[in-house]
Structure 1
Amino acid sequence: MRTHECWKRGCHVLCRPGHDYCPKHEAEHQQERLAALKRFKQSKAYQQYNKNRYRKYNAEQRDPEANVFYQSNRWAKTRDFIKIRDMMIDGATGRVLADHDYIVDHIVPRRLCKDPFDPNNLWLLSRKEHYRKTQIEERIASQSHGDIKLRHIDKKIWIKWLNEKQKN
């Protein structure tokens, strides 16, 4: 890769290979991109798209029992309690989560636990960590006696597994 001048008008500093802006202007550009993304996500078109996408998912993919559960007032109150209790910190990595980047997750899957509203069985995860945890759960569930194994995996084990480097 070749070096080139910063893309900021009037700046003639050479950029590192693979970067479009010098370190000074890269931070500014990142802030501008985040602001544009925020404006886009607040637009009516995006909100309508997202609403339709979730409506379609709830109608076609999510099982009806889960749909009723996750739409209930009791779940909304429990979810908000966990969000406040965990102070928007990812339970697996300890990172602070953005308001759009969290999922309240059941440590023992909802279909296997006795009380799905038990706060001791709930924690905050980032969407990325939740996706990884779900993939691992699905692999374990497909094994013989998978449900029994899933009932006995505690929070410490999940933290260890989710913090291990992914094998590509």
Structure 2
Amino acid sequence: MKMRHCKYQGCRKLIPYDESYCHAHELVMASKAVDEEIERKRLESVSQGYRASERHTRYANSEHSHELGHAFYHSQQWARLSARVKVRDLYTDSIDRLVYGKGELIVDHIVPRLVDEGRALDESNLWLLNREHHNRKTGLEKKMTTEQLKRMTKNDWIELLK
């Protein structure tokens, strides 16, 4: 059987010649196609004025944006790290284990960034959550003390969010 390398950026896995991607990257590429279709439909449904205003975040001109940590989440270092985590976890939510499109997942800190700033860029402290799970986790975090948050593990959060 003829074999070749997966076409995904630098992947060296051998696959049958009639396939383009290994199993893991086939899921990533399918997810990208779904994201592109969702974005295409979304753009068709919004007005041109809204599309133009969408280029700016709602906090871009806010004098309080630095307090909310937006500079951190707009850094190149965070962008690269969060993209790597999405590929590492194959666009799969850590709670329900379902694959989601790129825009539906949030790279989240298991121990919140503001609780332990030393782990803000620690890949082992990051996981993927869909928006619903992320919002529920954020609500629970607000009710917890700093000491409780520091002790929380990935498994603790999974139990709470299930």
Q: Same fold (TM over 0.5)?
A: yes
Q: Quick one: which of 114, 121, 136 aligns to 1:117?
A: 121
Following superposition of structure 1 onto structure 2, how do residues 32-71 of structure 1 map, counting pairs within 5 Å? 36-37=41-42, 39-40=44-45, 44-52=48-56, 54-56=57-59, 59=62, 62-64=65-67, 66-71=69-74
Sequence identity (%): 33
Can you list the C-alpha shifts for 1:105-146, whole angstroms capped at 9, x where unaligned? 000000122221101000111011100000000011xxxxx0
How far off its partner does 1:47 sit?
3.1
Alpha-carbon spacing, 1:119–1:58, altered in 2? closer, same or farther (3 Å): farther
Q: CA RMSD in A?
A: 2.4
Normalization by structure 2: what TM-score? 0.66
Whether the aligned pair in 1 keeps the contact of 2:108 and 2:126 (CA below 8 Å) is yes
Q: Which one of 102, 106, 113 corresponds to residue 105 of structure 2?
A: 102
Query: Tell me, what secondary structure is at the counterpart of 1:100?
Result: helix
Would you say the 8 A contact 1:110–1:116 is kept in 2? yes
Aligned pair partner of 1:133 in 134, 137, 146: 137
Counterpart CA distance in 2 for 1:130 and 1:106 is 10
Structure 2: gaps (5+ residues): 1-37
Alpha carbons of structure 1 residues 58 and 122: separation in structure 2 relative to 1, 3 Å: farther
Is the alpha carbon distance of 1:83 and 1:36 closer, same or farther for their aligned partners in structure 2, counting shifts above 3 Å? Answer: closer
Matches of 1:139 and 1:118, distance apart in 2: 24
Gaps of 5+ in 1: 1-33, 141-145, 164-168
Query: Is the 1:108–1:153 contact (alpha carbons within 8 Å) kept by the matching residues of 2?
Result: yes
The one-letter amino acid paired with 2:76 is N
2:90 is equivalent to residue 91 of structure 1: no
Q: Which residue of 2 aligns with 1:153?
A: 152
Q: Matched residues in 2 for 1:118 and 1:55: separation?
A: 28
1:90–1:96 Cα contact (<8 Å) kept: yes
Q: Would the aligned equivalents of 2:43 and 2:51 in 1 still touch at CA under 8 Å? A: no
Return the letter of the residue paired with 1:158: W
* SS of residue matched to 1:117: coil
Q: Which has the larger radius of gyration?
A: 1
